[in-house]
Structure 1
Amino acid sequence: MASQKTPSRRTALRTLTTLATGLTLGGPSVAGSVGAQTDADSDGPADTERYVAVVDRIVDGEHVVLLLEEDGQIVDELVVPRSEFDTVSESDILAVIIADDELLDYRILPERPCDIDAVDIAADSQDDLDADRETTPAPSRQSRAEEADCL
């Protein structure tokens, strides 16, 4: 008997959100949204997704707890070994690429981006950002009213 891969909780939530949004906006858009999502998922490795992540806490210096955000809302949490990061502090804002609930790549950002897809997550660009980070103070948390400018 062939075994089927069970979708992750994140994939299931994203699909349900897409369906609910499509039903709210109109029936024909549901098929288009689901079809577009399927095409986007097939471009890279299975279940590869990009998120804005905030370092919630570092546990015992060994594990980093990331809160994953989509459209300004927390959608999931990911625990990553501290050794996966060169340098990271609580409240850091990251752009992350995740596949099958594993961190593939990340970039520390000086501020919360409006569009995660516009952020370049590349190792060579991280060095430039680290240099900027040393001279720029950490950004303060934005209020909900300020975040609305991104939407």
Structure 2
Amino acid sequence: MTETYIATLDRIVDGQTAVLLLEENGKTVDQLDVDVTKLPPEAQHEGAVLEIAVEAGEFCDAEYRPDATQSRKESAQERLDRLSTKLSDRDR
């Protein structure tokens, strides 16, 4: 049975192993290590969001989700901006 997950490329180890964090309902539920060359070329970077297919615990396929990747990047930047603003306000 093939399962589908949203996954985020957390990091690339030794330039060849992509560490994917698998999500269900917005929460990380598992990790899957995949040869980075099995991912679409445009998704071979940290923070990339993909929809992946897994069968019997093995990676089958991945589709890059550029809109989700951009949205998460912007959301993370907004959080950092808010935190840095709050810290700078404390210095006054």
Same structural fold, with TM-score higher than 0.5 when normalized by the shorter chain: yes
Percentage of identical aligned residues = 36
List per-residue Cα deviations over 1:38-96 (Å, max 9, x = no partner). xxxxxxxx3x1101000000001110000000000000000001221241110000001
Q: 1:67 aligns with which of 14, 18, 21?
A: 21
Give the aligned CA root-mean-square deviation in angstroms: 1.9
- Report the counterpart of residue 79 of structure 1 in structure 2: 33
Q: What are the ranges of 5 or more consecutive residues in structure 1 without an aligned counterpart? A: 1-45, 113-136, 144-151
- Report the counterpart of residue 57 of structure 2 in structure 1: 101
The change in CA–CA distance for 1:94 and 1:86 in structure 2 (over 3 A counts) is closer
AA in 1 matched with 2:27: Q
Q: What are the ranges of 5 or more consecutive residues in structure 2 without an aligned counterpart? A: 77-92
Q: Which has the higher strand share?
A: 2
User: Which structure has the larger Rg over C-alpha atoms?
Assistant: 1
- Report the counterpart of residue 90 of structure 1 in structure 2: 46
How high is the TM-score relative to the length of structure 1?
A: 0.44
Moved over 3 A (4+): none
Query: Is the contact between residue 40 and residue 64 of structure 2 (CA under 8 Å) also seen in structure 1?
Result: no
- Report the counterpart of residue 111 of structure 1 in structure 2: 67
Q: Which has the higher helix share?
A: 1
- Report the counterpart of residue 142 of structure 1 in structure 2: 75
Return the alpha-carbon distance in structure 1 between the equivalents of residues 7 and 16 of structure 2: 18
- Report the counterpart of residue 8 of structure 2 in structure 1: 54
The change in CA–CA distance for 1:86 and 1:95 in structure 2 (over 3 A counts) is closer
